[in-house]
Amino acid sequence: MLIDDHYSYKPSSRDLLIRKFLSPQATQFYADILMLIVGYVAYYYIKFGTGWFYSVANPDLLIPMVILLVYWLILFWFSGLYKNWYIRSPFDEFFLVLRVTFFGSFIVFFLVLLDSNRSPRMVFLVYFAIITISIAIGRLSSRKIQKKIRKKGIYTIPSIIVGTIEKANEFIDKTRISRAWGYKAIGIILTDTSDENKNVEPNEPVLGYIDNLHIILDRVLPTELLITVDSPKRSTLVNIANECAEKNIIVKIVPDLYDIFTGLVRTLPIYGIPLIEINTQLLKPWEMVIKRFIDIVMSLLVLILGMPLWVIIAIAIKVESHGPVFYKQERVGKDGQPFVIYKFRSMIQDAQKNGSIWTTVNDPRVTKIGYFIRKTHIDEFPQFLNVLKGEMSLVGPRPEQTVIVNKYSSIVTYYKRRHVVKPGITGWWQVNYVVYEESVEEIESRLKDDFYYIENMSLKLDLEIIIRTVILMFRMHGQS
């Protein structure tokens, strides 16, 4: 057996189109549109065509139907109903649909459907029942359709198997029997160097060893990575999860490994498939929208209401030392994208030409006004412009300089995982540190706090961090 280090896989344009327009989320979306239209037409006929309910006049059919269609699709998206259906069993999905349609029908009933009807409760029940049954039938049908197109090989999930030859072959054989899973194995990554000398023929090309995972993933970019190892090292699993999170590759493991990951990340059982998905993105769609809304509102309030203070600080900076008011520097943001960060200048001009990249304790390059604005974190306030532009969030891992990212990405293999979310003005690490100096130990300590935030992201945690930050500002907690 030889390792094929020249093998590469790139999906064709046809495969990408099929993956986009025939994905589980897409088929759910199509089914919802169809059944929402059918459901509204049925409701319209029952309410206005049967004579069972009192009505002054028959309203227009098309305009209310379009408005309600958009309303329901937005509500379903906010509620997380367009997540991959493998994450939920049909029963779990039905009860989620039941909750969402009840809430949505309740809102519609009071804002749209409540008129001079003499039996409003019955109208509500009829509308709720029709919408719920329609959506449930549509989503069950979309599951059936999705399974059929997977069985026929129309829709496939390119996957890499990680483990020993025996374990990988075993799983590949299962995927070939259970074609409805949709998996298309495109290669194997070995975790044991002794496997190469065994007389076991792999069912798919062997791409290399786990130590070269980042190189292999650049050459063969799968949709999912499946771990079949019996008892892997915890560090190996963490490195796999971090590397794949950077490249938006879904990681799934066999159930026997669940205990290893307990406490590390939240997991979701995959219905009908003996796998568990590692889910490192925990915010629901509606939470992401609210988080962005809060970012915009808070940024506008701080920038507008604080304008008199910003003018005073700008004048003080110019009076004390030569140079610009604002300090601009390239930092690395979400998905490794560079952006220019803004700060009030707190050091002498061209400070980094004569000193370290990071500020040290009692750094002589810090000016007098700089000492104050750094202690109170006021130097960070121009970054609300970055938040408005969508480059940063109020809360998230601190964005680092490109040179720091390049340096420590080669030393700490999982460093880049902190870039799976937007960087923040403040974060979990910022509200917990005392003083810091640049070192590998400091970086590893900071990463623990960054990953804690990423793995436990919630609006509640964001609120806690913001409150802690405000308290620390009054305590003059910043380093100068």
Going residue by residue through the chain, which has 480 residues, state the pLDDT in tens, using 9 for 90 and above.
556 666 777 777 888 888 888 888 899 999 999 999 999 999 888 887 777 766 656 677 888 899 999 999 999 988 888 876 565 667 778 888 999 999 998 888 877 655 555 556 777 888 899 999 999 999 989 988 988 888 888 888 899 999 888 888 888 888 888 788 888 888 898 887 666 556 677 888 888 888 888 888 888 888 889 888 766 677 777 778 877 877 888 888 765 544 444 444 444 445 455 566 666 556 777 888 899 999 999 999 999 999 999 999 999 988 888 888 898 989 999 988 999 999 998 887 766 665 545 565 566 778 888 888 888 888 889 999 999 999 999 999 999 988 888 888 888 877 887 888 899 999 988 887 755 667 777 787 788 888 888 878 888 889 889 988 888 888 766 555
Q: Which residues face 395 on adjacent strands?
A: 426
Q: What confidence score (pLDDT) does residue 262 get?
A: 42
Q: What confidence score (pLDDT) does residue 260 get?
A: 43
Q: pLDDT by residue (tens digit) across 354-393?
A: 554 556 556 677 888 888 888 888 888 999 999 999 999 9
In this prediction the pTM is: 0.61
Domains of the chain are 23-151 (no CATH), 155-278 (3.40.50.720), 285-474 (no CATH)
Q: What confidence score (pLDDT) does residue 54 get?
A: 62
Q: Which residues face 187 on adjacent strands?
A: 160
Q: In the numeric block, which tokens belong to residue 29?
A: 């979306």
Q: Which residue has the tokens 């495969």?
A: 15
Distance, in Å, from the CA atom of 226 to the CA atom of 254, rounded to the nearest integer, reads 8
Distance, in Å, from the CA atom of 55 to the CA atom of 58, rounded to the nearest integer, reads 7
Distance, in Å, from the CA atom of 180 to the CA atom of 37, rounded to the nearest integer, reads 29
- For the chain, the farthest-separated pair of C-alpha atoms sits apart, in whole angstroms, at 86
Do the Cβ atoms of 207 and 6 come closer than 8 Å?
A: no
